[in-house]
Structure 1
Amino acid sequence: MENDDKRLKEIAASLPERQKKILALVQGQGYASIEALSIEFDVTPQTIRRDMKNLCDLDLLKRYHGGAALGSSVQNLPYTDRQAICSEEKVRIARMLASHIPDNASIFINIGTSTEAVAKELLGHTGLRVITNNLHVAMIMSENTDFEIIITGGILRNRDLGITGEATIDFIRQFRADYAIIGISGIDHDGSLLDFDFHEVRVTKAIMENARKVFMIADHTKFGRSALVKLGEISEITSVFTNDELQPHFMNLLKETGIQIFIAKQ
């Protein structure tokens, strides 16, 4: 690990000046969009894309749709940055997932910007009963007065209004819902489901254990992304909803598990 860190520092030191500044900016903010960097350095978006490609090829950054971020396995991106990443893809995937939820169903929805996109797409439904540890989801879905929204107890996470803790798990175990709609931070090459927060993972496990079907929303950037805490295996999911930029390895992995795959195309 020490040798890897030394190697990366040596590579960073040899970068062209603009790429050094881009790397420093992303390290300071956690994430930066192509548009913002183009304005910051007064160059075309195509120039920034070439810079980013070089930085990502050197494993200094991780490329996302519309920008780049640090590839940390121990710390997630800030909430507002996660909202911006793959926002168009999330809407398409969320719309597809929502079409598989019938009216008058009971559902769990966990923490995440992807699940919040699903909440918005569910507003046209009727008679839903929703149990959630995500205050953003609760506020979104409260716009439909025909829904019953049940918010878990627990400890409020200020950074994204998620709720976790032992009280959250105990609360969830009182229910048996038709569906669980979950997001995930990363999916390893062997199919391991990964996240950053141990407390959040324990809550999501309880949600999965107490739902008849588990629907996972995950855009293509989540596949191959590292995170510290293991939630479970992809085989524990009923259906995966993703977009059409998935790498062949992960498409084959999903097919081998026998789970349902739904692809939201452009």
Structure 2
Amino acid sequence: MSQTLRHPEILDLARRGGKVTVEDLARHFGVTHQTIRRDLAELAEAGRLERVHGGAVLPSGTTNIAYEERRRLNGEAKAAMGRACAGLIPPGSSLFLGIGTSTEAVARELLGHRDLLVVTNNINVAGILLASPDARVILAGGTIRRSDGGLVGPLAVQTIRRFRFDMAVIGCSALDDAGDLLDFDLQEVEVSQALLAQSRRTILVADHSKLQRNAPVRVASLADLATLVTDRPLAPDLAACCRDWETEVVVAPA
């Protein structure tokens, strides 16, 4: 069966089962695992599916995919973005690192930085930075979100409002073609919006897959941020908007 015929059937199987696996699809179509991985990669690139470990799921506009699956997605791109973002953060900075696997990649690249004050509502980020003898780490209060170790709610917002950060690094669940940052959890959005008010410079770290997703809650616009760190050039229209907004776009080298 040709690729043109496989793709609609793969999407139909995903709609019926919620998820497809490389193993099952290879058996179903009688083709190699490599062929199926290529099919899934192309469908994900087109925004029709989201890659997860061992297969793919339908993109959701109302619920996020599981944290462990997000950790596995675009790992090399996140590592490159982490390095690029860390390069923008000078020693001696006061810094907030938000929730997300991309901000965790930034934290790993900050282990060599000196004299940082880092406030975070991400338990995983705090755990990474504890390995740095030169980082003072403050964990924000709030309700622990068991799914990913995030701290959200009024206590997290109150903690943020006690600081004036040099820089804040945030992620998002989706980024639409108008430049709006989107997320799934209203409480997490409230944390991010408080950060915008309390930070001299805000950096969004978001790989290209975020432009293929949707989420229901608006966080802010790229126009409100100083910098976007991503892994691929933006579409021409959005890139032109960023220039008009004077939002710096940093494309991390592969």
CA–CA distance in structure 1, aligned partners of residues 134 and 108 of structure 2:
14
Q: Would you say the 8 A contact 1:65–1:86 is kept in 2?
A: no
Q: CA deviation at 1:147?
A: 1.0
Does residue 1:237 correspond to 2:221, yes or no?
no
| Counterpart for residue 45 of structure 1 | 34
CA–CA distance in structure 1, aligned partners of residues 105 and 193 of structure 2:
21
CA–CA distance in structure 1, aligned partners of residues 197 and 208 of structure 2:
25
Q: In structure 1, the residue corresponding to 2:127 is in which secondary structure?
A: helix
Which of 154, 161, 171 pairs up with 2:159? Answer: 171
Q: CA deviation at 1:190?
A: 1.4
Query: Cα distance 1:38–1:233, how it changes in 2: closer, same or farther (>3 A)?
Result: same
Query: Cα distance 1:187–1:53, how it changes in 2: closer, same or farther (>3 A)?
Result: same
CA–CA distance in structure 2, aligned partners of residues 212 and 226 of structure 1:
28
| Counterpart for residue 4 of structure 2 | none
Q: CA deviation at 1:256?
A: 2.7
Q: CA deviation at 1:132?
A: 0.5
Does residue 1:106 correspond to 2:106, yes or no?
no
What are the Cα deviations for residues 9-51 of structure 1, in whole angstroms up to 9, with x where unaligned? xxxxxx54x66445545x15xxx675x6667767232244336
Residues 1-266 of structure 1 aligned to structure 2 (within 5 Å): 16=9, 20-25=12-17, 27-28=18-19, 43-50=32-39, 53=42, 61-64=48-51, 68-266=56-254
Q: Would you say the 8 A contact 1:37–1:48 is kept in 2?
A: no
Q: Would you say the 8 A contact 2:40–2:51 is kept in 1?
A: no
- Which sits farther off after the overlay, 245-254 or 70-79? 245-254
Q: Would you say the 8 A contact 2:233–2:251 is kept in 1?
A: no
Which TM-score applies when normalising by structure 2?
0.86
Q: In structure 2, the residue corresponding to 1:117 is in which secondary structure?
A: helix
CA RMSD of aligned residues (A): 2.7
CA–CA distance in structure 2, aligned partners of residues 80 and 189 of structure 1:
27
Query: Cα distance 1:126–1:52, how it changes in 2: closer, same or farther (>3 A)?
Result: closer
Q: CA deviation at 1:80?
A: 0.6
Q: CA deviation at 1:186?
A: 1.0
Query: Cα distance 1:211–1:63, how it changes in 2: closer, same or farther (>3 A)?
Result: same
| Identity among equivalent pairs (%) | 32
Query: Cα distance 1:241–1:53, how it changes in 2: closer, same or farther (>3 A)?
Result: closer
Q: Would you say the 8 A contact 1:192–1:234 is kept in 2?
A: yes
CA–CA distance in structure 2, aligned partners of residues 243 and 55 of structure 1:
16
Q: Would you say the 8 A contact 2:14–2:58 is kept in 1?
A: no
Q: Would you say the 8 A contact 1:218–1:241 is kept in 2?
A: yes
Q: Would you say the 8 A contact 2:81–2:252 is kept in 1?
A: yes
Query: Cα distance 1:44–1:262, how it changes in 2: closer, same or farther (>3 A)?
Result: same
CA–CA distance in structure 2, aligned partners of residues 110 and 82 of structure 1:
15
Query: Cα distance 1:219–1:55, how it changes in 2: closer, same or farther (>3 A)?
Result: closer
